[in-house]
Amino acid sequence: MSEPLPRIKRYEDLGLGLFIHWGLYSQLAVGEWTEFIHHRSRSEYEKLIATFTANQFDAEAIAHAAKMMGAKYIVLTTKHHEGFFLYDTKGLSSFDVMHSPANRDLIAEFVAACRKEGLLPFFYVATYDWHSPLYEENFPAYLDYLKASVEVLCRHYGPVGGFWFDGNWNKKEADWQLPALYGMIRKYQPDAIIVNNTGLKNRGKVSDPEIDVVTYERRTPDEIYHGAPNAKYVAGEISMTLNQHWGIATNDLNYKSPAEVIETVAHARHIGANILVNIGLTGQGAIPASAKTYMALLGRWTTMAAPALYRGRPTAIVSGQGARDFVLHADAHDYLCVFDLKVVGNDNVVLGGEGVNPRSFVGIDRPIESVYWLDNEEYLSFTQDLHKRVLTVDATGYPYGSDWVVRIAQIDYKSENRTVKSD
């Protein structure tokens, strides 16, 4: 396998990102595809621009919440399939935020807020477009329109993390003139990551040589395709919603449990993928209360897991019991990621975490000095058979009053100094 390019290596170190869906559809709060799925007439739907005030959009508050969640980057919809731009298109289109009551460049605010919090801004750009008649009537002209809109993003916001395209799957056989589009990005943003979502039916496919990341929308695969042998190394990215929709949907109560969210983030890192956790802003740009709660809960876990989470890479070490447990390697340390532990109680409140809980791992051939939990720095009893390359740890249950869902222990090998937890 080829070595990743520096920009792809930096991207993989980001680990976790926040995905934000926001547009005119957010005012209706019934999902981002409402214009298409609910058969709304374009003329009536586009009147929503007249009520788009963005008066609750606080980019700095959003970026800070993302940082507290543990995100290292944010992907924001600069334009979804509805065709409405959240930025000043410099005269390219009248269907942009400057022609709404908001009358301010929301992407400029977003980029500035990300930089203040030390996050990388990524631009989502829908290539499939319901607004522009050129998409169906004159596709080459539409591609010029698309390229011009991306050029505005390339030239007016300084260096950005990357571009996240979505929609080429709608015209599978069309010539999207990708060399021209991607070449323009490389000219103005040489270090930007290029992602093009291949959709639900082509997850993990490399659609063009310039692609840096393959996507796995709404799926957690068992492995990531990093490209053909001797070809360019590509990273992988999973994306997940908190409920069933990407844009805010007030009546969608089918939320994932916080435990499932944490386990999915952990699994993504297990297979060497980044992960985007999505929220949909309200019609006027606020984070919904439910999303705030999920982001705060995830943030508690990512703070604990930070030494392994971001720079951690998959290893060949496997669980000896067929459990979901796995091992990551980061900065000269291995980290045991342990699932399905119980809370320690007593005779009156038995929670199942009492007693010895041996977990074995196969593939470790270096002598170990110590193993300890990251959450409370409790040292764990262990035995090691170097000949068989087997480590068995007494994975103690959670202290009463805690349950981290996925608990992480750091291994210190002999002749190495123990490191202090760091972000």
pLDDT band with cut points at 50, 70 and 90 for residue 160: very high
pLDDT band with cut points at 50, 70 and 90 for residue 200: very low
Alpha-carbon torsion, ordered 254, 259, 260, 264, to 10 deg:
140
pLDDT band with cut points at 50, 70 and 90 for residue 304: very high
pLDDT band with cut points at 50, 70 and 90 for residue 302: very high
The pTM score is: 0.94
Q: What is the mean pLDDT of residues 239-255?
A: 97
Fold of 314-411: Immunoglobulin-like (2.60.40)
Any idea where the domains of the chain sit in the sequence?
4-311, 314-411
Is the pLDDT reported for residue 423 higher than 90? no
Q: What is the mean pLDDT of residues 202-218?
A: 74
Is the pLDDT reported for residue 219 higher than 60? no
Is the pLDDT reported for residue 234 higher than 70? yes
Give the per-residue pLDDT at 422: 42
CATH homologous superfamily, domain 4-311: Glycosidases (3.20.20.80)
* Mode of pairing for the β-strands spanning 358-362 and 318-319: antiparallel
pLDDT band with cut points at 50, 70 and 90 for residue 231: confident
Q: What is the mean pLDDT of residues 198-223?
A: 70
Give the pLDDT confidence of 251-287 residue by residue, as tens digits.
999 999 999 999 999 999 999 999 999 999 999 999 9
Give the pLDDT confidence of 335-365 residue by residue, as tens digits.
999 999 999 998 888 888 888 899 999 999 9
Is the pLDDT reported for residue 94 higher than 90? yes
